[in-house]
Chain A
């Protein structure tokens, strides 16, 4: 039994089902990694340049397979795109983004590479800005701890970076 997800107000689901055949166009996106399907309005889906090109070129069939993106990341992406399609108030969007991006490093990473792959510029810019803000003001050791990065610098590079950090700490 396929799992279908309607992104939107569950109370409106039945009305949406009726409307599916009328004025709005709908697409089904299927994440090939974990076989989750998402039914989403075309106007929302085309925030992704990749999907937009497919639709414009007439390549979009009934179900669009989406590789390299996990189901939970896709769900978040669609939530973001839907909000950004519906809302035009900059202030509201900014508040939404701040709340939306309140995620751990692992989830942020998945969102970032997925947004990059799907070419959703607005989302990618928001995520990379969030990551940049996360690492500003932190030492390299703190950055490594947060992002779970191992220090693989050579002995020479370690010496150079020690000198650099010694110099930056001087006031």
Chain B
């Protein structure tokens, strides 16, 4: 759908509604909107200034200029600010901003759950803080000198009697699962050989944002959908060598890496459970039960496995070409590619393409480069599993 088409549509809708409301003196937007009665949102129609009501093609032009010039963080905050000004600005900003797959940039928190770009990876780094058992993912190539790196996700490691859990959040100071900054979690088995990724929303947008019969939008309860499984092969012979990983990305279809294939791309994060009346709670619980049981996995999902390193005779070690992004030898370092049979209709280039790369560059600093069809959240969760595997795998 082209922007010109969108602009024409807005103009027609605006003009039609203006004609309808002429003389009534009420702002048309309040009629079009339906939402649960809020604590904070105004209940009376708002008299809007001209800058909120300007011709849509001009608003588009202005916000596009902001978006195109502020490509990297922290300047990209400007785009997020535009989306918080008022409804018309929010709608236009959300239309302009493209997914990471399309433009290679992260803009809103939902970008972290959308597939990465196809042509080149998004390059990030992870910093481990052993003292607080937290791991932070930053959207820069490597730590900058001024420490002004964009925090994308944070994880906290929690040891339990029979498992280890990493709670993943948008912020580094709140890992509560009932907060709207909660994103998902990673849980290991006792041996540290198998991990499950849990997402707080399903890959199906329709299930995540469901409407009741009255047409009102219901807030989704922050729940957990099991969306991927990571397995580390037990190294029974105890020979030194790279760990073998196998990641079953249950919500991503195998067809995503075939010609013309696509990967699930959610367009918004679920809202928190905090501010709703008890009347709606039972209704949501019933809806939730239906959602979880009806979570549809593709019949053939994408499986990632590690790219086999080569034995370097002179250096006497296993080597992978990390293209300069990994500089310290570590058993944690890996590259993941799609597990493909020769009979599958996947090009050789696609078979060789590294979808996720992780490796050490310094004390407690690791790089993480990810690309289509996995998201930053999925990539981060897979990398976190690397921090918890037990000696049985090495």
Given contacts A113-B58, A132-B62, contact A153 B90 (CB under 8 A): yes
In this assembly, does A63 line the interface, its C-beta being within 8 Å of a C-beta of chain B? no
Choose among B38, B81, B82, B269 the residue that contacts A160 (Cβ–Cβ < 8 A): B269
Contact indicator per residue, chain A 152-169, by CB within 8 Å of chain B (1) or not (0):
111111111101111111
In this assembly, does B61 line the interface, its C-beta being within 8 Å of a C-beta of chain A? yes
CB-nearest residue of chain A relative to B108? A164
CB-nearest residue of chain A relative to B112? A167
**CA of A24 to CA of B275 in the docked complex: distance in angstroms?**
70
In this assembly, does A140 line the interface, its C-beta being within 8 Å of a C-beta of chain B? yes
In this assembly, does B52 line the interface, its C-beta being within 8 Å of a C-beta of chain A? yes
Whether the Cβ atoms of A136 and B83 lie closer than 8 Å is: no
The A-contacting residues of B in range 1-41, CB under 8 angstroms, are 27, 29-30, 33, 35-41
In this assembly, does B295 line the interface, its C-beta being within 8 Å of a C-beta of chain A? no
Contacts of A124 in B (CB 8 A): 61
In this assembly, does B308 line the interface, its C-beta being within 8 Å of a C-beta of chain A? no
Return A111 CB to nearest CB of chain B, in Å.
11
Whether the Cβ atoms of A155 and B41 lie closer than 8 Å is: yes
Whether the Cβ atoms of A152 and B29 lie closer than 8 Å is: yes
Return B142 CB to nearest CB of chain A, in Å.
16
In this assembly, does B180 line the interface, its C-beta being within 8 Å of a C-beta of chain A? yes
**CA of A166 to CA of B170 in the docked complex: distance in angstroms?**
9
The A-contacting residues of B in range 57-80, CB under 8 angstroms, are 57-58, 61-63, 65-66, 69-70, 74-78, 80
Given contacts A156-B217, A170-B171, contact A148 B51 (CB under 8 A): yes
Return B276 CB to nearest CB of chain A, in Å.
10
Whether the Cβ atoms of A171 and B69 lie closer than 8 Å is: no
In this assembly, does A49 line the interface, its C-beta being within 8 Å of a C-beta of chain B? no
Whether the Cβ atoms of B82 and A147 lie closer than 8 Å is: no
Whether the Cβ atoms of B82 and A140 lie closer than 8 Å is: yes
In this assembly, does B342 line the interface, its C-beta being within 8 Å of a C-beta of chain A? no
Contacts of B75 in A (CB 8 A): 136-137
**CA of A132 to CA of B75 in the docked complex: distance in angstroms?**
13
Top 7 nearest A-B pairs (CB, nearest first) are: A155-B38, A140-B84, A132-B65, A147-B51, A161-B84, A170-B151, A148-B49
Report 11 cross-chain contacts, Cβ distance below 8 Å, ordered by A residue.
Answer: A131-B62, A132-B62, A135-B78, A149-B52, A150-B46, A150-B86, A152-B30, A153-B86, A155-B41, A171-B149, A171-B151
